[in-house]
Structure 1
Amino acid sequence: MVELKHLRYLDLNNNAFNSVPIPAFLGSLKELSNNAFIGVPIPAFLSSLKELGYLDLSNARFSGRIPQNLLVELKHLHHLDLSNNAFNGVLIPAFLGSLKELRYLDLSNAGFSGRIPQNLVNLSYLSTLDISNNSLTGLIPASLGGFSLPRYLSLSHNRLNGLIPINLRHLSNLHFLDISYNSLTGNQINGTIPLSIGEMTSLFVLDLSRNKISGTIPSSLGNCVGLEALDLSRNHLSGVIPKSLENNFSGNIPAWIGNSFHSLRILRLRSNKFIGKIPQQILNLTSLRVLDAAHNYLSGSMPQGLENLIGMKNEQMTNYILHYGGAIQGHYYEENLIMSMKGLVFNYSKTISLLTCIDLSSNHLSGKIPEVLTNLLGLLGLNLSGNNFTGKFLDKVGRLALLESLDFSRN
């Protein structure tokens, strides 16, 4: 290589180099992005790039150990991505906690095991931390509650156990928390979700699914008024909750759902043991696109004022994938939804933002089907089958020009 003394950005991605000689004069480099095969283990020349601010070594097939002092001298490093490598069960290096300027740290799917280092909390400017899809064990360090600026925190798909730290409530700026697919057991008293989660009022996404959390659901979750996605499925919960797939909730659908989650777009209560009427407060969810309370024991008539569900009044013209996390790397968390449409079961993810439907099938609802349903012109699916509705068919159902699936059978 010639002496590229003024080079600031070097991209070696999407190659198959056996090695790449990096001359020492590249010490002025600001950004390095490389998923080429440039050596096993991770190359030692990195320690000489003292001006480096952006380092992306994702998808580079590195293995072995990361030398303990490899990146310590990179005082200006603000972006570090080591995701999708094969470090073969090596502990997360403790020296990462000394990179004080880091704002973005992605260690997902990198082959790490062992415990989460306590000193990661020293990264006082960190806004994104992703350690998902590894083999990490032990407790979630209470020190993680000492972060001051994080927006995104994912510890999902590991082997973490024990309690959800109460100190997480101090993450007042957090938008996204995903600790799913672990063996967490809730708080210290009875294994339930800590009441303090309700103090994290900036949350957009809360995913605690596939853990070992038990007990009832704290009403303090209603304080998280900005929630757009809430997943507590595959735990051992009871009582009431806004969204679940495979728990055993019972009792009435709580009215506070409609009073709290004004940004909620998907409300899925399917296949539980809810009883009583559909609360009138549900109609306060003006952003709602999907209402699924099928396969419960709901009774009474449909609530008056269905035309207030303005999120269902118009066709969804723009498709976007719900995502949270690093804007540089694209989406991290992708919302998905399983729905019954046209007599089949579909898993919506890429096109979920275009889906608008109501499914109240297999309940004990009665009375007349409200004509105002025909004002919800954006509906793609409407399923009221398996209830006790009486009266005549909707005269103006032809207004629902976008409708792809309509089922009024077994009434």
Structure 2
Amino acid sequence: MGCCLVFESVILSFNNLQGVISGAIGNLTSLIRLDMSHNQLEGKIATSLGKLCKLKRIDLSYNKFGGEVAEDFKIFSQCMLDGLESMSLENNYHGGQFPNELDQFKNLSFLSLQNNFIFGPIPKSMKRLSSLTWLDVSYNHLNGLLPESLGQLAKLETLDLSYNHLNGTLPESLGQLAKLGTLDLSYNHLNGTLPESLGKLVRLNYLDVSHNLMKGVVSEIHFANLTRLSYLDGSGNNLTLKVRDAWIPTFQVRALTLASWQLGPQFPSWLQYQGQLETLDIANTGISDSIPQWFWPKISNLGRLNLSHNQICGEIPRKFDVVQEVDLSFNNFKGLLPFFSFTLKFLDLSNNSFVGSIYHTLCGRIREPNSLYILNLGNNNLSGWIPNCWMNWPYLQVLNLENNNLMGTIPHSIGHLASLKSLHLRHNSLSGKLPQSLQNCTELVLIDLSGNAFIGGIPTWMGNSFWQLMVLNLRSNKFQGGIPYELCGLSSLQILDLAHTNLSKLVPKCFNNFMAMAKRQNSSGLISYAPSPTAGVPEKAFLVTKGREVEYSTTLKLVVSMDLSENNLSGEIPKGLTRLVGLHSVNLSRNHFTGKIPENIGDMEQLESLDLSLNKLCGEIPLSMSSLTFLSHLNLSYNNLTGRVPLSTQLQSLEISSFVGNKLC
């Protein structure tokens, strides 16, 4: 007697399967469930799948399948129109237009096409999917308007269309989705205001319309029946919330993010009725009030608090118990710094008016190593010495104390910050020599010590320790001696500013070893450091270019510059400098350079700004300089240059002041 195996379920997920689906799978005609998710399968979906007429659930997500998504649905429509209930094709490479054939699957209740390359509008025929409870087409390229017919999907519980290119206004018909619990329309181009009909969604738990182009007024009506709402994110829109002073919301949210809304000028009194908050972000909301006393006890359970970019005034409590992230930057807070939780990972109190010492905040309640990743106290009125207790901050990646009134030396314990990537101490009154222990911070990507009174020579160990360093700014200090040869070991350096630092002697000939400056296309990782998805901090640097100080942040990774101006450097300009063809800005002015301008200076095709003024350069301007087509700022004034200015549209368009103080024709 023979026998055969009859499979109703085949589950092969998480097996690292590769290649294509075998056509033999079509022989499993009794199959009800097929799960081949989380593998490395590729190519088009096998046409033999169309023979599986009893199939109800299919999951091919997290593979490398490609092809037109409409063709895939034609395969499934051969004999599954009435049976198929769940389909997941997310995280593949499916393309083409959103399929019109979709409406034929009468019993389809779950559909996920997330993270593919599907484009085009959402078809109006979607209304025929009367059994649909879950629809996720996020992270695609959908465009066009949201059809009114979406409101006829009466059983829909989850609708996620985030990260697409949808435009137009939200249809009023969304208010008809009585069973809807999750609505995510974030990161699109939707405009208009929120429809009042959203207030009818009594089961709505999660609402995210953030990062669109919405404007207009949101009122109490919008939240009238949202008693189950626990997550609300409308940030990145230009909406105005207008409610009564005595308004008591019907909801108790855990996460509330309304950044860039207009909530002020008074601090929102309705927040006192939110007793379950874990995340609160009302940054840039036009609040110019002081914080009421009832607020501080409310934040004891908060994981994240962001009140930045308002004009909030007053003092904050000495004890601060927010668990993970605090951003109060760009306000008018004053008084002493607080004590804060040892579980805190992100603290930004910059751009306020805090005063006094930072000792009690950093060292006053030490019991165990702190978990802080990012500390920004810059742009305040803090004073005193930098405390010597950095051994308790082993996870710190970003330390910003710039633009305060700090004095004394950098403490030796700074060397315990083995994870430090970014050090901002600019514009204080710090002095003394740089501590040798700093060389232990081998992860440093940015160092800005400008505008202080540091002395001694530039340490030779910098070139050996900081192999990842991209920005070195020692501008306006009181160093002695020359530029150490070892500095040429900084092969990742893109920005070097040693201007006005009292340096003398010759410039090392090894400057052509700055390999990152020798690349024509630079795209560094100098963007942000983020201990969590919600706490990304874009790196920034202040650079003097074309005679003015400019702050670079999002474009910092593209900047390549060198400034050695206002020193006592002598000798000839190293010819190797012209090999740094990625440089955008070079300033060697106000030194004692002699000899000729290097003949190959025209090789530096990316140059936008070149300043060689107030030196003792002689000879003619090299003809190759006419090749510098991006040059918008040139200053060769007050040297001993002779001959003619080379002919080029760029050079002839410059002001005469670029050449005065020479013997040029």
**Category of TM-score, reference length = shorter chain:** 0.7 to 0.9
Q: Which residue of 1 aligns with 2:605?
A: 401
Distance 1:231-1:307 versus aligned 2 partners, 3 A rule: same
Report the CA distance between 1:155 and its aligned residue. Answer: 0.7
Give 1:243-322 correspondences, 5 Å limit.
243-318=448-523, 322=527
User: Could you tell me how far apart the structure 1 residues matched to 2:329 and 2:281 are?
Assistant: 13
Q: Which residue of 2 aligns with 1:374?
A: 578
Is contact 2:288–2:313 with CA below 8 Å preserved after alignment?
no
Distance 1:292-1:332 versus aligned 2 partners, 3 A rule: same
SS at match of 1:252: coil
User: Could you tell me how far apart the structure 1 residues matched to 2:205 and 2:289 are?
Assistant: 32
Give 1:21-100 correspondences, 5 Å limit.
21=221, 25-34=225-234, 35-41=239-245, 43-45=247-249, 48-50=250-252, 52-58=253-259, 59-62=261-264, 63-64=266-267, 66=269, 69-72=272-275, 74=276, 77-85=277-285, 86=287, 88-91=289-292, 93-99=295-301
**More displaced stretch, 329-338 vs 395-404:** 329-338
Q: Which residue of 1 aligns with 2:30?
A: none
User: Could you tell me how far apart the structure 2 residues matched to 1:140 and 1:330 are?
Assistant: 21
Residue 355 of structure 2 is aligned with which of 161, 170, 175? 161
Q: Which residue of 1 aligns with 2:202?
A: 5
Is contact 1:251–1:275 with CA below 8 Å preserved after alignment?
yes
**More displaced stretch, 375-384 vs 323-332:** 323-332
Is contact 2:305–2:327 with CA below 8 Å preserved after alignment?
yes
User: Could you tell me how far apart the structure 2 residues matched to 1:24 and 1:6 are?
Assistant: 12
How many aligned positions are there?
Answer: 390
Is contact 1:228–1:265 with CA below 8 Å preserved after alignment?
no
Q: Which residue of 2 aligns with 1:182?
A: 380
Q: Which residue of 1 aligns with 2:342?
A: 147
User: Could you tell me how far apart the structure 2 residues matched to 1:207 and 1:103 are?
Assistant: 22
Deviations 1:75-111 (A, max 9, x none): xx43211223426112461223332xx4321022344
User: Could you tell me how far apart the structure 1 residues matched to 2:357 and 2:549 are?
Assistant: 35
Report the CA distance between 1:327 and its aligned residue. Answer: 7.4
Residue 134 of structure 1 is aligned with which of 331, 335, 342? 331
Is contact 1:40–1:64 with CA below 8 Å preserved after alignment?
no
User: Could you tell me how far apart the structure 2 residues matched to 1:109 and 1:42 are?
Assistant: 26
Residue 347 of structure 1 is aligned with which of 524, 529, 550? 550
Gaps of 5+ in 1: 186-190
Aligned residue type for 1:49: F
Give 1:103-252 correspondences, 5 Å limit.
103-118=303-318, 120-121=320-321, 123-124=322-323, 126=324, 128-142=325-339, 144=340, 146-150=341-345, 152-165=346-359, 168=362, 172-185=370-383, 191-197=384-390, 200-224=393-417, 226-240=419-433, 243-252=448-457
Report the CA distance between 1:216 and its aligned residue. Answer: 1.9
User: Could you tell me how far apart the structure 2 residues matched to 1:348 and 1:320 are?
Assistant: 18
Is contact 1:201–1:226 with CA below 8 Å preserved after alignment?
yes
Report the CA distance between 1:202 and its aligned residue. Answer: 3.7
User: Could you tell me how far apart the structure 1 residues matched to 2:223 and 2:550 are?
Assistant: 50
Distance 1:172-1:263 versus aligned 2 partners, 3 A rule: farther
User: Could you tell me how far apart the structure 1 residues matched to 2:463 and 2:412 are?
Assistant: 13
User: Could you tell me how far apart the structure 2 residues matched to 1:165 and 1:388 are?
Assistant: 44
Identity across matched positions, percent: 34
Taking structure 2 as the reference length, the TM-score comes to 0.52
**More displaced stretch, 379-388 vs 253-262:** 253-262
Larger % of strand: which? Answer: 2
Report the CA distance between 1:364 and its aligned residue. Answer: 1.8
Aligned residue type for 2:352: N
Deviations 1:174-212 (A, max 9, x none): 332111222222xxxxx2111223653443432212222
User: Could you tell me how far apart the structure 1 residues matched to 2:471 and 2:206 are?
Assistant: 43
Report the CA distance between 1:157 and its aligned residue. Answer: 2.1
Deviations 1:105-144 (A, max 9, x none): 10223444443335532x44x2x210122332332223x1
Taking structure 1 as the reference length, the TM-score comes to 0.81
Q: Which residue of 1 aligns with 2:118?
A: none
Q: Which has the larger radius of gyration?
A: 2
User: Could you tell me how far apart the structure 1 residues matched to 2:373 and 2:520 are?
Assistant: 28
Report the CA distance between 1:384 and its aligned residue. Answer: 2.5
Q: Which residue of 1 aligns with 2:23?
A: none
Distance 1:38-1:283 versus aligned 2 partners, 3 A rule: same
User: Could you tell me how far apart the structure 2 residues matched to 1:54 and 1:139 are?
Assistant: 29
User: Could you tell me how far apart the structure 1 residues matched to 2:524 and 2:469 are?
Assistant: 17
User: Could you tell me how far apart the structure 2 residues matched to 1:180 and 1:11 are?
Assistant: 33
Q: Which residue of 2 aligns with 1:188?
A: none
SS at match of 2:320: helix
Is contact 2:310–2:331 with CA below 8 Å preserved after alignment?
yes
Gaps of 5+ in 2: 1-196, 435-446, 617-665
User: Could you tell me how far apart the structure 2 residues matched to 1:83 and 1:104 are?
Assistant: 12
User: Could you tell me how far apart the structure 2 residues matched to 1:173 and 1:286 are?
Assistant: 31
Q: Which has the higher contact order (CA 8 A, sep 6+)?
A: 1
